[in-house]
């Protein structure tokens, strides 16, 4: 009886540690995908000065796609939609910024005047 109890306790400990490791790996993938998405947001905000109304780019590192960036000018500001990738996990971030905020944060010059279709 004691041997069965000890054996079942050891098996339970092995299964619990394997499950813990499995879920920790998933969290690491989510965290990495989130960090890649943040890199994409920073890239998108840094490249707003472009005169186009839409800007699409894919960020690649070490021959792997890490983020898909879409910047669209909307009424009184911009919308940045980024999907960050890590292995089979993806995280999407959507952020809206007004032109005033972009000037205040230094992404646009103070002399920036939005075109008529951007207002």
- 44-74 pLDDT, tens digit per residue, is 988 887 667 888 999 999 999 999 999 998 8
Q: What pLDDT band is residue 106 in, cutting at 50, 70 and 90?
A: confident
Q: Which residue in this structure is represented by tokens 């008529």? A: 116
E strands, 40-107, in order: 54-61, 64-74, 77-86, 89-98
Q: What pLDDT band is residue 115 in, cutting at 50, 70 and 90?
A: low
How much helix, strand and coil, in percent to the nearest 5, is found in the chain? 45, 35, 20
Q: For residue 68, give Cα distances in angstroms to 81, 94, 104.
A: 8, 12, 26
Domain of 77, in residue numbers: 2-118
Counted domains in the chain: 1
Q: Closest Cα to residue 102, out of 55, 56, 41?
A: 41
């Amino acid at each position: 009886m004691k041997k069965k109890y000890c054996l079942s306790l050891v098996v339970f400990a092995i299964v619990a540690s394997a499950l813990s490791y499995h879920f920790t790996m998933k969290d690491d993938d989510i965290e990495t995908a989130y960090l890649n998405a943040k890199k994409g947001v920073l890239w998108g905000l840094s490249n707003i000065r472009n005169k186009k109304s839409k800007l699409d780019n894919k960020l690649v590192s070490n021959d792997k796609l890490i983020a898909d960036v879409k910047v669209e000018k909307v009424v009184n500001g911009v919308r940045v939609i980024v999907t960050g990738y890590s292995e089979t996990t993806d995280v999407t971030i959507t952020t809206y910024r007004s032109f005033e905020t972009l000037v205040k944060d230094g992404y646009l010059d103070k002399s920036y005047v939005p075109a008529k279709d951007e207002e």
